[in-house]
Structure 1
Amino acid sequence: MSEKLDLILFGVTGLVGRYGVRHLYKLSKEKNLTFGVAGRNEQKIKNVLVKLEEETGDKSIAKIPIILADMSDEQSIKQMTSRCKVLIQSCGPLRQLGEVVVKACIESRTHYVDVSAEENFIDKVALEYQEQAKKAGIYMVGSCGIDCIAYDLGVLYIQKKFRGTVNSVETYLKMDTDDPTLTGPSYNVSTWKSTIDLMLNKRELKALQARIFNKNMPKLKPALGTKHLPFKPYVEDGWSILLTGSDRSVMMRTQQYLYEEKNKRPVQVQTYYMLKALWYLIFFVIFGLMFAFLLPFKLGRKILLRYPAFFTGGVFGNEEPSQAMCENAWFRLTFVAKGWKDKIVGPDEKFNEKPNHGMMLQVKGKNPGYGGTALCLVLAGVMIATQADKLPSKPGVYTPGIAFGETTIVEDLHERGLSFDVLNEFAISS
């Protein structure tokens, strides 16, 4: 058998995969790495490579290995994972079929990163495959899209920059476009389908998270409250609403690890989403109520799946987002940290004094749904391939923060347009 490739990008014909192969091509040149591409349809894969060759003028692209693999064909997945050291999984959704790839990576002792934001899948892998991954000597890191990467590594970045102890972090996500005249969906329908599937399986998720999160974590003071009703924050213009999803649970898993394994005081986190005007908030409430009414019924779900654009104000659609829509999109994620300046508080220390110091961090970038996500995903795979000495000492299933907290991934992302910037520090009056 020929020597294993350093990396394989699986799902190269999807939109994330097509952006991903561009990043992987550039990074493989910089880092002297070998890579292949994988998917179900050979002709579509060849078309992606032809396009890349046209963009770069590099005739050697025609020699990039092509591997045919389909998540419904277990043998093809095993053959794919046996050909590389690190598998970059850009396919989805993963809750129904993703485990076949996880199992194949364990069997072939292949490191694994994926782009999943499906909480049920993320938590199931963490619970059921941790020991198997450890025995196989591999690192498995889920949630390597731009959302969880920005959130998880953003909190760690604040913890490193904060002069003292961080008690709590609130985050505010704002997304928009540079060209409001563009029409068509911002995201394809697969994300909408995943959202519906997740909402249908909330009970399963609750059971999984009851097993993941340690009930003996310290009760931190002052406790970070949750704002359940819409409010106007001071960090951005517009209205904020509570944001649920994988981002907060991933951050909480990282903080739990830091407490249990590193004896560090965890940080409390809460996440909010920004709506830029009152009418957006009204729209959100109306269609949120319609979604909640239709979801429990089979006919209702059919309606939701058939008309994604109607129920999301055109954000999701059955057709793929245009290149212009992707390239003009941007996001801005603002972190507001509060704690104590110049005072290191132990992990279990009771500290009743009110926080006296704060810091604001902002992570921002372009094309978050596809180009930015592809960059984060590919860089995650490259970190495993090139910075093994900076990963956790024990292999296993990890969050991005745990896996890459000591690597140069933040600096690498910053150089490539996903910036991490401390905006200011401020005193908190009592």
Structure 2
Amino acid sequence: MNRKYDLVIFGSTGFTGEIVCSYINSHADAKNLNWAIAGRDREKLQSVSIDLSSRGKKIDTLVVDSFDKDAIDSMCKKTSVVLTTVGPYCIYGEYLVDSCVKHGTHYLDLTGEPQFVNRVKDKLSKDALNSGSIVLNCCGFESIPADIGSYLAVRMLGDKNIQIENYLLTRGKISGGTWASFLNSISIGSQSSERGNKSKRKHKKSKRIFFNKRFQKWALIFPVVDRDIVRKSGIFFDYGSDFNFKQFILFKSFFSMLMLILGIATISVFSKIGFIRNWLRSYIPSGSGPSEREREKHWFRSIFVARSMKSKVEIEISGGDPGYGETAKLISESALCIIKDRDKLVNNRGVLTPMECMGDLLIERLKKNGIKIIIS
């Protein structure tokens, strides 16, 4: 693939985009990388470029609006890989991923929107195989830790049809972009991509709320896109027709859990009303987010308790700020893996999950760059 750029980061002037740019700019693998930044605001792009270029070579800028199809096509023709942080992806991402597939350009995003993931899989799977494009959704905290943890658990147990419970402990804050994606997702309702992934065996019905004695905390089932990504990986790696993955978020107290449930329920009702949704969106403005000092205090632990008929294993994946610092690391290392290790990828074309595409290559990259993985 002979292109002007190895990588273009789209959304570079946004809160998450700037963190991604900073991570790439300081990475050893980016020394000989030809990369550029893209977004809709020329002045902001120039400012980010000057800041990045002061630490090394000049970083080119591309003025591209999500709804300008000609500009998007031009960008996709110039680069081997597009990394986009521009969400909500159901609103701003559809033509971009279409264009990447059309031009044989590799695509990575940070979506957590099941609707968008389903749309990409249903519409573009065949076209991506034909064009040679790699399409990776959910390359941040949603859903790389869940994908890696499940992949390792199946391998460690050496068995199919295992049962995995994934428990999340986090400390962090959200940005305006994440808040906007959340509001958009719940206002249009979620679509689980469980379609066609029904287990032949009926599993014991999951408790949605319970007190977990192992962690001495309250657990709430967490119905996010992680489960869909894990199941898609499971089809490729043959985790078994009765493989089961459940995810829970842990709380110190029943009251804190109840407040979250009531908050989400209230927002899900009122976000369907246009003017209220706009007011809610302004509560955390786009481009805002936690300061660097705040992010330094943030962390996550993702614990996988996996059982087969014969044995059990626990895996813990942990790191720093899940929403921004580590999310920037996860998607950046994924992009660098595609650029630098293309010939070693598990799969090098199609609509894929992170593990379907990169497998152990990504795991080793993340371990070398501060993500801790403990198996017991």
Check whether TM > 0.5: yes
Distance in 2, Cα, partners of 1:299 & 1:46: 34
User: Residues 53 and 34 from structure 1, CA distance in 2 versus in 1: closer, same or farther, beyond 3 angstroms?
Assistant: closer
Aligned-pair CA distance for 1:264: 5.2
SS at match of 1:133: helix
Distance in 2, Cα, partners of 1:299 & 1:379: 39
Computed over aligned residues only, the root mean square deviation of the Cα atoms, in angstroms, reads: 2.6
Distance in 1, Cα, partners of 2:167 & 2:78: 41
Map 1:29-48 onto structure 2 (within 5 A): 29=29, 32-48=32-48
Distance in 2, Cα, partners of 1:31 & 1:381: 15
Q: Which residue of 2 aligns with 1:23?
A: 23
1:197-230 residue CA offsets vs partner (Å, 9 max, x unmatched): 2223227x25xx37xx325x55247x253112x2
1:107-129 residue CA offsets vs partner (Å, 9 max, x unmatched): 32111111111111111001101
Contact 2:160–2:243 (8 Å) recurs in 1 = no
When Rg is computed on C-alpha atoms for both structures, the one with the higher figure is 1
User: Residues 19 and 235 from structure 1, CA distance in 2 versus in 1: closer, same or farther, beyond 3 angstroms?
Assistant: farther
Contact 1:235–1:334 (8 Å) recurs in 2 = no
Q: Which residue of 2 aligns with 1:172?
A: 167
Distance in 1, Cα, partners of 2:268 & 2:199: 35
- Consecutive unaligned residues of structure 1, counting only runs of 5 or more, are 178-185, 309-315, 340-354, 425-430
User: Residues 385 and 279 from structure 1, CA distance in 2 versus in 1: closer, same or farther, beyond 3 angstroms?
Assistant: same
Q: Which residue of 1 aligns with 2:73?
A: 78
Q: Which residue of 1 aligns with 2:200?
A: 219
- Consecutive unaligned residues of structure 2, counting only runs of 5 or more, are none
Q: Which residue of 2 aligns with 1:345?
A: none
Which residue type is aligned with residue 87 of structure 1?
V
Give yes or no for the alignment of 1:127 onto 2:111.
no
- TM-score where L is the length of structure 1: 0.80
Aligned-pair CA distance for 1:328: 1.4
SS at match of 2:367: helix
Q: Among 269, 283, 305, which residue is 1:336 paired with?
A: 305
Aligned-pair CA distance for 1:12: 1.1
- TM-score where L is the length of structure 2: 0.90
Contact 1:28–1:35 (8 Å) recurs in 2 = no
Which residue type is aligned with residue 200 of structure 2?
K
SS at match of 2:370: coil
User: Residues 234 and 404 from structure 1, CA distance in 2 versus in 1: closer, same or farther, beyond 3 angstroms?
Assistant: farther
Give yes or no for the alignment of 1:236 onto 2:215.
yes
Aligned-pair CA distance for 1:71: 0.6
Distance in 1, Cα, partners of 2:11 & 2:63: 10
Q: Which residue of 2 aligns with 1:411?
A: 364
1:394-424 residue CA offsets vs partner (Å, 9 max, x unmatched): 621111121122x4111111121111111x2
Q: Which residue of 2 aligns with 1:6?
A: 6
User: Residues 306 and 77 from structure 1, CA distance in 2 versus in 1: closer, same or farther, beyond 3 angstroms?
Assistant: closer
SS at match of 2:143: helix
Aligned length, in residue pairs: 375
SS at match of 1:82: helix
Q: Which residue of 1 aligns with 2:176?
A: 189
User: Residues 136 and 191 from structure 1, CA distance in 2 versus in 1: closer, same or farther, beyond 3 angstroms?
Assistant: same
Distance in 2, Cα, partners of 1:295 & 1:11: 25
User: Residues 175 and 85 from structure 1, CA distance in 2 versus in 1: closer, same or farther, beyond 3 angstroms?
Assistant: same
Contact 1:68–1:80 (8 Å) recurs in 2 = no
Which residue type is aligned with residue 117 of structure 1?
G
